């Protein structure tokens, strides 16, 4: 088990290097001059800027040498300059990161809670109506284009019913809270501004639900499968024989055990949420990394796209690693297996 | 009594024809037929600009008209003529490339295996949509480039699957017997191993069909896929988002994507239960 | 006379499967257990003995149809609402499972699991005193260093220790009846004897009535006072252990006794009865045992033999009176003690 974690940790830097290499190749095999992807077309007729960039990125040297320079620049946090915002890409990303994290965390909570509830109900009523309904929900979840779903719920709940506010992170008539963490929920509370806090929460409901919906289905399938596995165990019958009631059996005895295999889904759903966040943020005018990526792609802002791709790849890799390791560490059955093997 | 029940059983459907497969197959077939025949019976031209703009759904225009006065219903139906062929091309190429490399990796082993699988690992380290966006942006927007990007994103999945299959089948006795009796490596691979590797590939390809359609629409929605005036669903929803209060512009393409992806998911889900009953 | 502790009358269990015809897992059995008595129920797998026990507990799945009567201290259990059954399970009937490896929740400490059994039936008890009581129970089943052990998880216990824990859990509320479903099958031979000793001690000290389900007559010989032999969902023989072992009145019982390990033989002959018990879905006509029976006659193929008094025991064999006493088996059983 330790060797498994060790192997994963050793592989990690190589995978990160691979991610960076792919990004390097992408910048150098664009149809445009690679320089364009660093300083942008508008600067191309400025000889001083062109020369400086050529120098800094080593573009007059051979490809392997360029690669080394590229690596060095990345390691010092230099992702190039977005020619749309005219800011360093790294800075752009840092500023937008809290917004994305806030949305993804909210979506993850909503998505996993609903997913777990749905999975437990589906397992409790296996092959009966609630189970089939849960199956349909899961299939719909992976079939609806999230950008369209966002439009639909905005139109229904904001425009038609007026229950919830439209796009944005905070009511447009309110100023943004003073920057502390970048998380509006936390910053408004620190500011003691309850009206702003309520507005921030209301703003978050629709995008978080839409984004959460994309993982609800997968989570529910995972939970259902592991619940069925657990419910057929003898200790469940033993708990019944002790006189435990249905709800206690499901939540206290079965769900606890079923949650372990479900842990893997968290990393997996994080990947889904990154994908979904890109499109959800665009619909809800959410000033995070996702909408930044889309704007960059629409404007063919290459340094920004590559920057987002590297960061996204790293986030993806790390979340998968963390999930795998927690899973290996937490599961007592892994320990039982080790004990039995001794 | 039981005699009657037994006889009734004999005219029942074949085993693979479960409800999801039938429903999914029906939806997919319907879209294929629409795609093939729509020019013959569509009420309007998908790119004709003549009509009135922003007409709400009604008898004349079932799903209204868009910002340029084009019939949304017609454009929605024509959309399948872009989505399906692209998804088919992407899946076919990804399967061919991925399975070839996966089979080689699994069969040859050693350094070749290492090289191919590390490439797979690195490619799968990216969230699919981000890598597809980056590649498309690098190649330049357009449906063809989006398709290439999606192939790059998708082949590793099949490489991994195929390699696992080949490794599993390799261990079986009939393969060892063939090797022992002096069959050439290529004969062993093509005659004895590959024929047994296909069922998970087929199930995955069916499920992925829907996902490729979704990804292609997403890329078009972002502005990296189809370019106007192509009646492509993602592109149309992007139009609809611009004219948000004219809800009908995005309604047609959204429902179209939902139904066709749902169809493929039903089909894949049902096929998996039949071909690969062990998986969840 | 006082009513018996457990009185099972004409208990039938039928399962429905996939809308097809029902099949009968248990076809009307009677069973009496007195206070402080150990009653063994013996049969091969598929004979319906475990289904019978789960039916007594009301723990069968909804697809099972249960009829007949189960009286615990005179109180009818069949048809009792789930809520009321819950107050009986674990409080008045304790249940011991076959495999202690899987009968304990891997994520809860031993102490918590025993305390849960107490708290489920005594809402007023504090968490603390429930834990203390759990430790006491661990001592009762002779687990050393009970206080520390209560804080450990199941995977830190050996198989025999876990079975002690399961027994402690079943005794948590001092039930008047214990159902032990093959409590020693999953354990090593030496551990088996210790567990049987423990059950015997609980019976003697606490006066608890025990139903011991087993497929092993060897276990029965040393511990139980009454025995019920089941085959294919029916009782084929019932009586006191001494009588049945000395003079078995059913060919199946004789076969089982023949498969006991004999002192003179190096290995037990487990193939003493030719063939295997019939699957639940296709039971033979007449006496279900006839395809494997050396004594079977024409009549056994068509007519189901009723359970009737033969000598001091009950037997369901058409030819029960023709069977001679089995001295060698008696000797073997005695030698076993």
Q: What is the ipTM score, two decimals?
A: 0.85
Q: How many helices (H) and strands (E) does chain C have?
A: 12, 12
CB B168 within 8 A of CB B200: no
pLDDT of residue C93: 93
pLDDT of residue A39: 62
User: Are the Cβ atoms of C105 and A241 closer than 8 angstroms?
Assistant: no
User: Are the Cβ atoms of B262 and A27 closer than 8 angstroms?
Assistant: no
pLDDT of residue A33: 59
**Mean pLDDT of chain A, nearest integer:** 82
Considering the domain boundaries, does residue C75 fall inside one? no
Torsion of Cα atoms, B145 then B148 then B150 then B154, to 10°: -170
Strand-by-strand arrangement of the C209-214 sheet: C93-96, C177-181, C209-214, C38-42, C226-231, C234-240, C313-315, C308-310
Q: How confident is the model at residue B9 (pLDDT cuts 50, 70, 90)?
A: very low
Considering the domain boundaries, does residue B159 fall inside one? yes
Flag whether residue C89 sits within 8 Å of chain A, measured between CB atoms: yes
Q: Work out the average pLDDT over B129-154.
A: 89
For residue C332, give the 3-state DSSP assignment.
Answer: helix
Residues in A closer than 8 angstroms to C97, CB to CB, are: 234, 237-238, 241
Selected residue of A147, A275, A290 to mutate for chain B interface (largest B Cβ count, 10 A): A147
Q: Work out the average pLDDT over A275-292.
A: 89
Block residue for tokens 């039916």: C55
Residue A27: pLDDT over 80: no
Q: How confident is the model at residue B7 (pLDDT cuts 50, 70, 90)?
A: very low
Burial B1-22 (b: 16+ CB within 10 A, else e): eeeeeeeeeeeeeeeeebebbe
Cα gap A40→A27, rounded to integer Å: 12
Strand-by-strand arrangement of the C23-33 sheet: C23-33, C6-15, C64-72, C75-76
Residues in C closer than 8 angstroms to A237, CB to CB, are: 59, 97, 103
Task: Name the strand (E) or helix (H) holding A116.
Answer: helix A89-124
Cα gap B276→A32, rounded to integer Å: 46
Enumerate residues 6+ apart whose C-beta is below 8 A from B136: A297, B145, B146, B149, B219, B224, B225
pLDDT of residue A42: 63
For residue C236, give the 3-state DSSP assignment.
Answer: strand
Based on the fold, state whether residues C207 and C288 are members of the same structural domain.
yes
Cα gap C256→A57, rounded to integer Å: 88
Q: Work out the average pLDDT over A60-64.
A: 73
**Neighbour subunits, A (≥3 Cβ pairs < 8 A):** B, C
Lowest-pLDDT range, A33-47, A161-175, B229-243?
A33-47
Cα gap A60→A54, rounded to integer Å: 6
Based on the fold, state whether residues C213 and C160 are members of the same structural domain.
no
Task: Name the strand (E) or helix (H) holding A264.
Answer: helix A256-283
Among chain A residues, CA nearest to C168: A242
Which residues in chain C show pLDDT less than 70? 1-2, 17-21, 259-272, 326-337
Residues in C closer than 8 angstroms to A240, CB to CB, are: 59, 89
pLDDT of residue A341: 33
Bond preceding residue A322 cis, omega within 30 of 0? no
CATH no. for residue C46?
A: 3.40.50.300
Residue A330: pLDDT over 70: no
Based on the fold, state whether residues C278 and C192 are members of the same structural domain.
yes
User: Are the Cβ atoms of A283 and B241 closer than 8 angstroms?
Assistant: yes
Q: How confident is the model at residue A338 (pLDDT cuts 50, 70, 90)?
A: very low
Among chain C residues, CA nearest to A235: C103
CATH for the stretch A103-300+309-341: 1.10.3720.10
pLDDT of residue B258: 94
Based on the fold, state whether residues C187 and C250 are members of the same structural domain.
yes
- Long-range contacts of residues B177-185, Cβ cutoff 8 Å, at least 24 apart: B185/B107
Beta bridge partners of C309: C314
Based on the fold, state whether residues C182 and C257 are members of the same structural domain.
yes
pLDDT of residue B10: 46
Based on the fold, state whether residues C190 and C282 are members of the same structural domain.
yes
Residue B147: pLDDT over 90: yes
Residue B235: pLDDT over 60: yes
Q: Work out the average pLDDT over B143-149.
A: 91
Block residue for tokens 């007949």: C68
Q: How confident is the model at residue B1 (pLDDT cuts 50, 70, 90)?
A: very low
The domain total for chain B is 1
User: Are the Cβ atoms of B127 and A30 closer than 8 angstroms?
Assistant: no
Note the pLDDT tens digit of each residue in A87-106.
888 888 998 999 999 999 99
User: Are the Cβ atoms of C106 and A257 closer than 8 angstroms?
Assistant: yes
Crossing angle of helices C127-140/C110-119, nearest 10°?
Answer: 110
Lowest-pLDDT range, A89-93, A160-164, B115-119, C215-219?
C215-219
- Domain hosting B24: range is 20-31+65-275
Nearest to C329 by CA among C275, C259, C279: C259
Helices (H), ranges, A143-255: 146-153, 184-190, 194-231, 234-241, 246-248
CATH no. for residue B187?
A: 1.10.3720.10
The domain total for chain C is 2
What single string gives the DSSP state of each residue in B189-241?
Answer: IIIIIGGGSHHHHHHHHHHHHHHHHHHHHHHHHHTSS--TTS--HHHHHHHHH
User: Are the Cβ atoms of A245 and C116 closer than 8 angstroms?
Assistant: no
Of the candidates A235, A240, A257, the beta carbon closest to that of C89 is on A240
pLDDT of residue A38: 60
Considering the domain boundaries, does residue C325 fall inside one? yes
Residue that is last in its domain, among C139, C173, C207: C173
Task: Name the strand (E) or helix (H) holding B116.
Answer: helix B110-123
Q: Work out the average pLDDT over A282-304.
A: 86
Nearest to B35 by CA among B79, B97, B91: B79
The Cα-based distances of A209 to A276, B138, B208, C311 in angstroms read: 11, 33, 25, 76
Q: Work out the average pLDDT over A284-303.
A: 86
**Neighbour subunits, B (≥3 Cβ pairs < 8 A):** A
Flag whether residue C63 sits within 8 Å of chain A, measured between CB atoms: no
pLDDT of residue A30: 66
Backbone φ, ψ for residue C276 (5° rounding): -130, 155
Residue that is last in its domain, among C173, C208, C231: C173
User: Are the Cβ atoms of A235 and C106 closer than 8 angstroms?
Assistant: yes
Burial B112-148 (b: 16+ CB within 10 A, else e): ebeebbebbbbbbbbbbbbbbbbbbbbbebebebbbb
pLDDT of residue C2: 63
Among chain C residues, CA nearest to A230: C105
Considering the domain boundaries, does residue B14 fall inside one? no
How many Å is the Cα radius of gyration of chain C?
A: 21
Flag whether residue B243 sits within 8 Å of chain A, measured between CB atoms: no
pLDDT of residue C246: 86
* N residues, chain A: 342
The nearest CA of chain A is from the CA of C93 a distance in Å of: 8
Residue A60: pLDDT over 70: no
Considering the domain boundaries, does residue B26 fall inside one? yes
pLDDT of residue C134: 93
Residue B148: pLDDT over 90: yes
In chain B, positions 172-231, which contact chain A (CB-CB < 8 Å)? 210-211, 214, 217-218, 221-224
Crossing angle of helices A194-231/A129-141, nearest 10°?
Answer: 120
Residue B50: pLDDT over 70: no
Cα gap A46→B19, rounded to integer Å: 65
Considering the domain boundaries, does residue C287 fall inside one? yes
Residues in A closer than 8 angstroms to C153, CB to CB, are: 332
The nearest CA of chain A is from the CA of C257 a distance in Å of: 31
Of the candidates A143, A151, A297, the beta carbon closest to that of B224 is on A297
pLDDT of residue A9: 84
Considering the domain boundaries, does residue C4 fall inside one? no
- Domain hosting C106: range is 100-173
Flag whether residue C102 sits within 8 Å of chain A, measured between CB atoms: yes
pLDDT of residue C268: 44
The Cα-based distances of A173 to A97, A197, A206, A207, A281 in angstroms read: 23, 14, 19, 20, 20
pLDDT of residue B214: 92
Considering the domain boundaries, does residue B112 fall inside one? yes
pLDDT of residue A56: 66
Task: Name the strand (E) or helix (H) holding A33.
Answer: none
Residue that is last in its domain, among C127, C144, C173: C173
The nearest CA of chain A is from the CA of C185 a distance in Å of: 15
pLDDT of residue A89: 87
């Amino acid at each position: 088990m330790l060797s498994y974690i060790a192997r994963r940790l050793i592989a990690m830097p190589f995978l990160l290097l691979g991610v960076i290499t792919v990004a390097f190749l992408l910048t150098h095999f664009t149809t445009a001059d690679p320089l364009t992807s660093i300083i942008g077309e508008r600067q191309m007729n400025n000889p001083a800027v062109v020369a400086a960039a050529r120098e800094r990125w080593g573009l007059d040297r051979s490809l392997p040498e360029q690669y080394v320079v590229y690596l060095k620049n990345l390691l010092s946090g230099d992702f190039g300059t977005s020619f749309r915002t005219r800011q360093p890409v790294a800075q752009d990303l840092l500023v937008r990161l809290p917004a994305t994290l806030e949305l993804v965390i909210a979506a993850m909570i909503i998505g996993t809670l609903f997913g777990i509830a749905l999975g437990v109900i589906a397992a409790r009523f296996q092959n009966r109506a609630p189970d089939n309904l849960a199956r349909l929900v899961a299939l719909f979840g992976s079939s609806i284009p999230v950008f369209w779903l966002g439009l639909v719920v905005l139109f229904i709940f904001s425009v038609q019913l007026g229950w919830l506010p439209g796009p944005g992170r905070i009511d447009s008539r309110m100023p943004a809270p003073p920057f502390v963490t970048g998380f509006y929920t936390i910053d408004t509370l620190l500011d003691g501004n309850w009206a702003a806090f309520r507005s921030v929460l209301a703003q978050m409901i629709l995008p978080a639900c839409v984004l959460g919906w994309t993982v609800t289905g997968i989570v529910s399938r995972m939970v259902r499968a592991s619940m069925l596995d657990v419910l057929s165990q003898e200790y469940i019958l033993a708990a019944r024989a002790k006189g435990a009631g249905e709800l206690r059996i499901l939540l206290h005895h079965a769900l606890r055990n079923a949650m372990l295999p479900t842990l893997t889904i968290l990393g997996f759903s994080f990947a889904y949420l990154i994908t979904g966040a890109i499109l959800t943020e665009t619909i809800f005018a959410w000033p995070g990394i996702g909408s930044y990526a889309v704007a960059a792609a629409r404007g063919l802002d290459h340094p920004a796209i590559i920057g987002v791709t590297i960061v996204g790849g790293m986030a993806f890799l790390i979340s998968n690693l963390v999930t795998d390791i927690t899973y290996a560490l937490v599961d007592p059955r892994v320990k039982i297996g080790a004990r039995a093997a001794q | 009594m039981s005699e009657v029940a037994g006889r009734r059983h004999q005219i029942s459907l074949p085993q693979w024809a479960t409800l999801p497969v039938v429903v999914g197959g029906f939806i997919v077939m319907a879209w294929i037929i629409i795609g093939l025949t729509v020019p013959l019976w569509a009420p309007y031209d998908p790119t004709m600009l003549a009509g009135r703009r922003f007409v709400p759904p009604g008898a004349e225009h079932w799903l209204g008209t868009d910002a340029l006065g084009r019939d949304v219903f017609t454009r929605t139906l024509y959309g399948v003529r872009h989505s399906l062929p692209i998804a088919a091309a992407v899946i076919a190429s990804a399967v061919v490339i991925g399975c070839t490399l996966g089979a080689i990796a699994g069969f040859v082993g050693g350094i070749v295996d290492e090289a191919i699988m590390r490439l797979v690992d690195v490619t799968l380290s990216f969230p699919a949509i981000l890598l597809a966006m980056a590649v498309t942006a690098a190649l330049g927007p357009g449906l063809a480039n989006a398709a290439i990007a999606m192939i790059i994103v998708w082949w590793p999945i099949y490489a991994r699957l195929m390699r696992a299959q080949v490794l599993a089948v390799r261990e079986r006795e009939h393969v060892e017997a063939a090797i022992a009796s002096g069959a050439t490596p290529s004969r062993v691979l093509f005659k004895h191993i590959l024929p047994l590797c296909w069922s998970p590939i087929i199930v995955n390809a069916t499920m992925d069909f829907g996902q490729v359609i979704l990804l292609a629409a997403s890329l078009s929605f972002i502005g990296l896929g189809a370019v106007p005036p192509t009646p492509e669903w993602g592109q149309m929803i992007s139009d609809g988002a611009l004219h948000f209060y004219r809800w009908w512009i995005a309604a047609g393409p959204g429902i179209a994507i939902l139904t066709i992806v749902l169809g493929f998911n039903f089909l894949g889900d049902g096929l998996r239960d039949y071909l690969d009953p062990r998986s969840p | 006379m006082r009513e018996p502790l457990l009185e099972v009358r004409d208990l039938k269990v039928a399962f429905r499967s996939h809308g097809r015809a029902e099949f009968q897992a248990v076809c009307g059995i009677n069973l009496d257990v007195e206070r402080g008595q150990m009653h063994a129920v013996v049969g091969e797998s598929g004979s319906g003995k475990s289904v019978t026990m789960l039916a007594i507990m009301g723990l069968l799945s909804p697809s099972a149809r249960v009829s007949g009567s189960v009286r615990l201290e005179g109180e009818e259990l069949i048809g009792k609402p789930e809520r009321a059954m819950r107050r009986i399970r674990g409080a008045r009937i304790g249940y011991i499972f076959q495999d202690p490896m899987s009968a304990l929740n891997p994520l809860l400490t031993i102490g918590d699991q025993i305390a849960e059994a107490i708290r489920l039936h005594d809402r007023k008890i504090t968490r603390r005193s429930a834990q203390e009581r759990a430790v006491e129970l661990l001592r009762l089943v002779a687990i050393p260093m009970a206080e520390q052990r209560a804080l450990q998880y199941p995977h830190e216990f050996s198989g025999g220790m876990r079975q002690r824990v399961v027994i402690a859990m079943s005794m948590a509320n001092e039930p008047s009846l214990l159902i032990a479903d093959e409590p020693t099958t999953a354990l090593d031979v030496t551990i088996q004897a210790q567990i049987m000793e423990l059950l015997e001690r609980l019976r003697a000290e606490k006066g608890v009535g025990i139903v011991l389900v087993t497929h092993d007559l060897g276990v029965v010989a040393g511990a139980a006072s009454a025995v019920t032999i089941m085959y294919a969902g029916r009782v084929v023989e019932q009586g006191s252990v001494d009588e049945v072992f000395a003079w078995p009145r059913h060919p199946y019982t004789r076969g089982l006794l023949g498969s006991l390990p004999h002192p003179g033989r190096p290995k037990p002959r487990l193939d003493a009865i030719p063939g295997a018990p019939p699957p639940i879905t296709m039971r033979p006509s007449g006496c279900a045992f006839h395809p494997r029976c050396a004594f079977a006659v024409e009549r056994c193929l068509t007519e189901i033999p009723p359970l009737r008094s033969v000598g001091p025991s009950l037997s369901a064999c058409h030819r029960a009176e023709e069977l001679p006493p089995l001295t060698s088996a008696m000797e073997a059983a005695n030698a076993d003690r």
